[in-house]
Amino acid sequence: MKKFLFLSVSALLLAACSSKPKTAEVVEPKLCDAFPDYTIGVALNVNQSNEKDAEGVAIVKQHFNSIVPENCMKCEEIHPEENTYFWDDADRFVKFGEDNNMQIIGHCLIWHSQCAPWFFVDAKGKQVKPEVLKQRMKDHITTVMTRYKGRIAGWDVVNEAILDDGSYRPSPFYQILGEEFIPWAFQCAMEADPDAELYYNDYSMAQPGKRAGVVALVKKLKERGIRIDAVGMQSHMGMDHPSWEEFEASIQAFIGAGVDVQFTEVDMSALPTVNFGANVADTEEYSAELNPYPDALPDSVSAEWNERMTTFLNIVDKYAKNVRRVTAWGVTDADSWKNDWPIKGRTEYPLWFDRKGQMKPFLVERMKKKGLM
Q: Which amino acid is at 229?
A: D
Residue 160 is a catalytic residue: yes
Of the pair 71, 252, the CB lying nearest ligand XIL is at 71
Q: Which of 39, 65, 66, 159 binds ligand XIL (CB under 6 A)?
A: 159
CA distance 29 to 365: 13
Of the pair 230, 367, the CB lying nearest ligand XIL is at 230
Per this entry, what is the length of the chain?
373
- Could you tell me the end-to-end alpha-carbon distance of the chain, in angstroms, rounded to an integer? 15
Phi, psi of 200 (to 5 degrees): -105, 135
Of the pair 351, 364, the CB lying nearest ligand XIL is at 351
**DSSP-derived 3-state class of residue 93:** helix
Q: Which of 38, 66, 70, 235 binds ligand XIL (CB under 6 A)?
A: 70
Instruction: Kindly provide the residue ranges of all beta strands, DSSP E only, lying in the chain, ordered along the sequence.
Output: 39-44, 66-69, 103-110, 154-159, 197-202, 230-233, 236-237, 260-268, 323-328
State the nearest-atom distance from the C-beta of 108 to ligand XIL, in Å. Answer: 6
**DSSP H or E segment with residue 322:** none
**DSSP-derived 3-state class of residue 83:** coil
Q: Which of 71, 175, 275, 306 binds ligand XIL (CB under 6 A)?
A: 71
Catalytic residue of the set 160, 179, 285, 365:
160
Catalytic residue of the set 70, 197, 265, 348:
265
- Please state at what angle helix 361-369 crosses helix 299-318, rounded to 10 degrees: 50
Q: From residue 238 to residue 257, what is the string marking binding to ligand XIL with x (rule CB under 6 A)?
A: --------------------
Q: Does 280 bind ligand XIL (CB under 6 A)?
A: yes
Of the pair 46, 253, the CB lying nearest ligand XIL is at 46
Q: Which amino acid is at 28?
A: E
CA distance 307 to 313: 10
Q: From residue 327 to residue 366, what is the string marking binding to ligand XIL with x (rule CB under 6 A)?
A: ----------x-----------------------------
Residue 55 is a catalytic residue: no
CA distance 371 to 228: 36
Of the pair 108, 364, the CB lying nearest ligand XIL is at 108
State the nearest-atom distance from the C-beta of 113 to ligand XIL, in Å. Answer: 7
Which are the catalytic amino acids?
Answer: 160, 265
* Footprint on this chain of ligand XIL (rule: CB under 6 A): 70-71, 159, 234, 265, 278, 280, 337
